[in-house]
């Protein structure tokens, strides 16, 4: 993301302020950061369809389940997945307790910011880093570690807290859906206990509506009472096929709307789309190198290739960030 000229930023801020104040009035535009394009029209049309009791597309409120990917759909995933940044920061924090890391890969690579050596360590190295940074402690201890990191960490490009690197138009969309009787869920490849620390405050999504990847845990009786301890063993990866599987397991209803940004979300969108009645599937396409990042078919992070073709074939809605959004991040 490049810095916008100050004059553009000022105009954007004034517009956003005007929009926000309008959003509180009855009859105000609930999606002020969305330009009046076909994309916005498709969203509004779908919501009006499923909430119109007299129409053919009506969906009773308990069945209005909307699922959202997180990384790249609700908040930024560039230049690195946020949870990976957390893991790398955590290795550096823990290094004094692990002098052996100075000469042991993949930790040495992290400590020396040696991206080539880190890449060479591959998935196996990543699993070692996750085990060292995400396991061993109780769930309460992990929550406190994440909370403190989220409070203090800053995005490397913008210098903003990660919880401000969320997409303003998507925040408005979450609120718009909830105002229309939808229950909004996160269904993300990210760790469920990492996300739950901030999702309620940032997205208005409570812990019980966050579905994600999990590691195994164990229940342990200590002299101070019971704790749940995080184990260095994968339980479930909530990505690709894992997303509809987790939706079935955790939610037990098929969503009527699904929002993603990568091929990892494809099966979630397919599963949603294949249900009976009105359906809405949307891909956020990162097209905006000025205000955010532009990436799709060739990206290592958030690759959107097969999904982009499927979206065209199936008539799913694709957000062109440059044209569809008049603001990207909150003020």
Residue pair 204/182 in contact by the 8 Å Cβ criterion: no
| Minimal distance, residue 224 CB to its own copies, in Å | 9
Phi-psi region of 159 (alpha: psi -120 to 50; beta: other; left: phi over 0): left
Q: Among candidates 263, 245, 272, 262, which has minimal Cα distance to 182?
A: 272
Can residue 160 be called a binding residue for its own copies (CB under 8 A)? no
Can residue 218 be called a binding residue for its own copies (CB under 8 A)? yes
Among 193, 239, 292, 324, binds its own copies (CB under 8 A): 193
Among 8, 120, 228, 306, binds its own copies (CB under 8 A): 228
Can residue 315 be called a binding residue for its own copies (CB under 8 A)? no
| Minimal distance, residue 253 CB to its own copies, in Å | 5
Among 36, 113, 208, 233, binds its own copies (CB under 8 A): 208
3-state DSSP: the chain helix, strand, coil percent, rounded to 5? 45, 20, 35
Cα–Cα dist 89/78, whole Å: 16
Residue pair 115/123 in contact by the 8 Å Cβ criterion: no
Instruction: Map tokens 């490009």 to a residue.
Output: 157
- Residue 68: strand pairing partners: 186, 259
Of 118 and 258, the one with the shorter C-beta distance to its own copies is: 258
H or E stretch at 133: helix 115-134
Can residue 322 be called a binding residue for its own copies (CB under 8 A)? no
The window from 69-77, 87-95, 146-154, 190-198 that contacts its own copies (CB under 8 A) reads 190-198
Site for its own copies in 258-277 (CB under 8 A): 267, 270-271, 274
Residues near its own copies, by CB under 8 A: 62, 65, 139, 183, 192-193, 196, 200, 206-208, 210, 214, 217-219, 221, 225-226, 228, 235, 241, 244-245, 248-253, 267, 270-271, 274
């Amino acid at each position: 993301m490049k810095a916008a000229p100050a004059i553009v930023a000022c105009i954007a801020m004034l517009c956003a302020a005007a929009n926000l104040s309008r959003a509180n009035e009855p009859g105000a535009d609930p999606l002020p950061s969305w330009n009046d394009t076909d994309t916005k029209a498709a969203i509004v049309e779908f919501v009006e369809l499923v909430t119109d009791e007299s129409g053919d597309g009506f969906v009773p409120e308990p069945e209005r389940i909307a699922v959202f990917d997180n990384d790249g759909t609700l908040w930024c995933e560039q230049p690195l997945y946020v949870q990976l940044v957390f893991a790398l920061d955590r290795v550096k924090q823990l290094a004094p307790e692990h002098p052996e890391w100075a000469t042991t890969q993949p930790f040495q690579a992290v400590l020396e910011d040696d991206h080539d050596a880190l890449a060479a360590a591959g998935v196996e190295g990543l699993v070692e880093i996750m085990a060292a940074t995400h396991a061993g402690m109780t769930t309460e201890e992990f929550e406190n570690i994440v909370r403190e990191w989220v409070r203090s960490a800053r995005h490397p490009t913008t210098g903003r807290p990660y919880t401000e690197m969320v997409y303003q138009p998507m925040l408005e969309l979450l609120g718009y859906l909830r105002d229309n009787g939808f229950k909004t869920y996160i269904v993300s490849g990210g760790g469920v206990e990492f996300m739950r620390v901030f999702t309620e405050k940032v997205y208005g999504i409570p812990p019980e509506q966050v579905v994600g990847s999990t590691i195994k845990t164990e229940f342990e009786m200590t002299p101070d009472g019971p704790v749940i301890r995080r184990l260095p063993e994968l339980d479930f990866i909530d990505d690709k096929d894992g997303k509809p599987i987790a939706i079935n397991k955790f939610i037990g209803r098929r969503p009527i709307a699904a929002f993603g940004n990568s091929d990892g979300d494809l099966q979630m969108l397919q599963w949603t789309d294949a249900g009976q009645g009105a359906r809405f599937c949307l891909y956020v396409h990162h097209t905006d190198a000025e205000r955010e990042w532009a990436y799709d078919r060739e990206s290592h992070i958030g690759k959107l290739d097969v999904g982009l073709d499927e979206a065209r074939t199936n008539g799913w809605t694709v957000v062109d960030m440059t044209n569809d959004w008049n603001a990207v991040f909150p003020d």
